[in-house]
Amino acid sequence: MKMKFVKSCLMLAVAGLLSSTFAVAQEKAQTLDQLLDMVKKSQISESAEHKQREAEFARDKSNQANLLAQAKATRQAEEARSAALEKKYQEQDILVAAKKAQLNERLGSMKELFGHLTSTAGDLRATLGTSIVSAQYPSRGEFLDALIEKMNSNTRLPDIEEIERLWFEVQREMVETGRVVKFNATVIKPSGEQAEQEVVRVGSYNLVSNGAYLTFDGSKIQELPRQPEDHLAGAQALQNASSGIVDFGVDPTGPAGGQLLTALIDTPTFLERVDQGGKVGYVIVAVGFIGIFLGLWRMLVLFLMSGKVKAQLKSDKPNTNNPLGRVLKVAEENKNVDTETLELKLEEASLKERPGIESGLAVLKIIAAIAPLLGLLGTVTGMIETFQAITIFGAGDPKNMAGGISAALVTTVQGLVVAIPVVLMHTLVNGRAKAIVQILDEQTTGIIAENSERK
């Protein structure tokens, strides 16, 4: 069937070639005789070409059959090899199981011991990875990594020296946690610069050097970018001391965790707290400065004025450098007028003095009232921003939420801090002003009474 199909294809190809050749020849031939000659020549050449192609097809078919036979032979050989390997694998698997059983039988109770050793080595490796003692003895981790790898291989067992070394490292870690020692190490500065310097280790809690606290991440020692200012003197004294007791601030959580030390150094300063209040906070601070300055200025003015008024009370000669003296001056200039006129003159003079005495009281009162309101405004605005952030980013981290609420409450604190002293100053200034006004009223009433008696 295949040969018939090939022959049919060849016949169709020959017919196509003949028709195309005939068409081309017809285009070039000038006479029928010429056309006949050209067709004959074309048939002869195409017949030879077709025979050549048939021979090539037959030869290729023979080659393909040989290749197929070779592939089948290779496949059979690989299948036989695979079966042999599978059989060998099963035999080796049985042998490995037998060897494991033999190993477990010979280990006996030692298997449990090696299990405890592996567990102890793993726990100690985790402990040493975060212990600041490793800053002084950095090679301990490499030994434990090699020991754990060896014990987990199921092909090797630790020797007595390695077991004793493990016990030694456990014992050394316990001893070093209770010692304060000095050693030299490379310290990375906040600027990125590295320096070889003396480091003091306080047990397994803190590292200090040159009066600064350090942190250890398991591989390198770094100086904290921000230091607890209140405890730096103790750190320097500890490094300078050779014996005795030194007042030193210790973080019991250690530099690897360092929650207390981190919280201490991350506590905002006074200026940072003020900055957390934002624009509203700065407005409150500005209003507070105005109120405090005005209150102090008015207290000073009224204090001096009160002294002059008291001096005037002891003098019979009016002095125009104080309100009472100016009122008495008016009384002296109008001593011959009738009582009603004198009363009006003195009342007018007293009223002229009141604005100077009571100046600033209204402003202090307003500042004391609006400062807490501004603080409340800032808090509400901050809470709105905090909840908007929670809506966008979620509330997965309670610290961020607490930090936002804390910053929002800063303006309330600022408002109260401004309002409390301003209220006190307003009370003091108002009391001093009322005392002076009271003296003016008393003296004015006395002068009018004396004038009325003379009349």
Note the pLDDT tens digit of each residue in 311-346. 888 888 888 888 888 888 888 888 778 878 888 888
The predicted model gives 193-211 an average pLDDT of: 86
Q: Is residue 264 part of a domain?
A: no
406 with 288, same domain?
yes
Q: Are residues 280 and 210 in the same domain?
A: no
Q: Is residue 133 part of a domain?
A: yes
Please report whether residue 327 resides in a domain.
yes
Answer yes or no: do 150 and 203 share one domain: no
Q: Are residues 445 and 319 in the same domain?
A: yes
Please check the confidence at residue 3 and state whether its pLDDT lies above 70. Answer: no
* 84: in domain: no
Q: What is the average per-residue pLDDT within 418-428?
A: 94
Shared domain check, 188 and 173: no
Last residue of a domain, one of 197, 230, 258: 258
Contacts of 195 (CB under 8 A, 6+ apart): 186, 187, 189
Q: Is 253 part of any domain?
A: yes
285 shares a domain with 213: no
DSSP lists the bridge partners of residue 200 as 182, 208
Position 22 in a domain: yes
The predicted-structure confidence for 298-313, as pLDDT tens digits, reads as follows 999 999 998 888 888 8
Do 401 and 314 lie in one domain? The reply is yes
Residues 52 and 25 in one domain: yes
Domain assignment of residue 136, yes or no? yes
Average pLDDT over all residues of the chain: 80
Residues 228 and 187 in one domain: yes
247 with 384, same domain: the answer is no
Contact 295, 429 (CB under 8 A): yes
Indicate whether 94 belongs to any domain. no
The 3 state secondary structure assigned to the chain is CHHHHHHHHHHHHHHHHHHHHHHHHHHHCCCHHHHHHHHHHHHHHHHHHHHHHHHHHHHHHHHHHHHHHHHHHHHHHHHHHHHHHHHHHHHHHHHHHHHHHHHHHHHCCHHHHHHHHHHHHHHHHHHHHHCHHHHCCCCHHHHHHHHHHHHCCCCCCCCHHHHHHHHHHHHHHHHHCCCEEEEEEEEECCCCCEEEEEEEEECCCEEEECCEEEEECCCCEEECCCCCHHHHHHHHHHHHCCCCCCCCCCCCCHHHHCHHHHHHHCCCCHHHHHHHCHHHHHHHHHHHHHHHHHHHHHHHHHHHHHHHHHHHHCCCCCCCCCHHHHHHHHHHHCCCCCHHHHHHHHHHHHHHHHHHHCCCHHHHHHHHHHHHHHHHHHHHHHHHHHHHHHHHHCCCCHHHHHHHHHHHHHHHHHHHHHHHHHHHHHHHHHHHHHHHHHHHHHHHHHHHHHHHHHC
Cα-based distances in Å from 1 to 4, 55, 346, 368: 5, 18, 145, 113
Higher-scoring residue by pLDDT: 221, 16: 221
pLDDT number for residue 99: 80
Give the percent of the chain with pLDDT over 90. 15
pLDDT in tens, 345-392: 888 888 888 888 888 899 999 999 999 999 999 888 888 887 887 777
Same domain, 335 and 444: yes
Full domain range(s) for residue 248? 182-258
Residue 103 has pLDDT above 50, yes or no: yes
How many structural domains compose the chain? 4
Reported confidence tier of residue 181, pLDDT bands at 50, 70, 90: confident
CB of 220 within 8 A of CB of 255? no
Domain match, 128 and 10 both: no
